[in-house]
């Protein structure tokens, strides 16, 4: 399978890359950057939208959400370790939505059993969960395009993500970004937004401000632009 994919890469005049992280992996493998064209995915604006009014008062416990298929590369163990190390876990809630690989779940069993952690399993109401949550955590070790981050931004749920998710998420502006696998830094960031609700509100407003750039309509515009660039280069 890998040999076929590599042959296809060699035959293509251009390669569509949905994130800077993806593009950098091709550059690292020796591809000419001029062959790499950027596009993106988008969110469904009919499903993902912010809640009405302020989500939580200053005295309410922090709600953190992880949503997605929990394989090791998504870093749920990093999120869980950071949550349990933060004082936020004493009065807040960590929602884990999505299937967890059985062996992976066994490794995290003690942490997942903590009273502040709610393992929800597969859910069809992720838009509502995002609207109910203060922060969305995605400490991925690799990421093609962090679509869930875009959906969170559109829902007013502030992303706390690893540095492979930074196309949409700008550290200190509309999100908080940590180095890959850095449990200590993520712990500090969870604690920070729990204690500083004004910062949380500022990040939330900035996140909502960029969400219009990541609808499917805007994603289509970027894709058409990439096609036009490919034709011009030929």
pLDDT at site 234: 83
What's domain 63-211's architecture? 3-Layer(aba) Sandwich (3.40)
C-beta neighbour count of 106 within 10 angstroms: 10
- Domain map of the chain by residue range? 2-42+215-233, 63-211
Q: Max Cα separation, the chain?
A: 60
Q: What is the pLDDT of residues 71-104, one digit of tens each?
A: 999 999 999 999 999 999 999 999 999 999 999 9
**Does the pLDDT value for residue 58 go beyond 80?**
no
Which helix (H) or strand (E) covers residue 94, if one does? strand 93-97
Average of per-residue pLDDT across 184-201: 97
Asked if 48 contacts 127 with a C-beta cutoff of 8 angstroms, the reply is: yes
Distance CA 62, CA 104 (A): 26
CA-based nearest residue to 70, from 112, 37, 28: 112
| Dihedral sign of CA atoms 130, 132, 134, 138 in order | negative
Q: What is the pLDDT of residues 118-175, one digit of tens each?
A: 999 999 999 999 999 999 999 999 999 999 999 999 999 999 999 999 788 999 999 9
The whole-model pTM stands at: 0.92
Give Cα separations from 179 to 96, 163, 176 (angstroms): 22, 6, 10
Nearest 10 degrees: CA dihedral of 167, 42, 76, 59?
A: 90
Distance CA 10, CA 189 (A): 42
Mean pLDDT score across all residues of the chain: 94
Give Cα separations from 196 to 157, 190, 191 (angstroms): 15, 10, 8
Distance CA 230, CA 134 (A): 41
């Amino acid at each position: 399978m890998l040999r076929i994919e590599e042959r296809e890469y060699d035959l293509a005049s251009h390669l569509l890359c949905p994130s800077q992280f993806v593009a950098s992996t091709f550059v690292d493998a020796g591809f000419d950057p001029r062959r790499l064209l950027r596009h993106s995915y988008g969110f469904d604006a009919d499903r993902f939208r912010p809640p009405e009014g302020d989500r939580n008062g200053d005295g309410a416990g922090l709600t953190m959400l992880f949503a997605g298929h929990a394989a090791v590369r998504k870093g749920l163990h990093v999120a869980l370790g950071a949550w349990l190390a933060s004082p936020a876990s004493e009065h807040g809630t960590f929602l884990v939505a999505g299937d967890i690989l059985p062996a992976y779940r066994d490794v995290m069993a003690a942490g997942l059993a903590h009273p502040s952690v709610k393992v929800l399993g597969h859910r069809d109401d992720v838009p509502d969960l995002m609207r109910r949550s203060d922060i969305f955590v995605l400490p991925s070790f690799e990421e093609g395009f962090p679509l869930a981050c875009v959906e969170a931004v559109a829902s007013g749920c502030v992303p706390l993500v690893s540095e492979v998710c930074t196309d949409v998420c700008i550290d200190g502006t509309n999100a908080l970004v940590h180095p890959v696998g850095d449990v200590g830094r993520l712990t500090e960031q969870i604690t920070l937004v729990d204690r500083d609700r004004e910062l949380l509100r500022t990040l939330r407003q900035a996140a909502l401000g960029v969400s219009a750039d990541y609808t499917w309509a805007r994603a289509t515009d970027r894709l058409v632009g990439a096609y036009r660039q490919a034709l011009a280069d030929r």
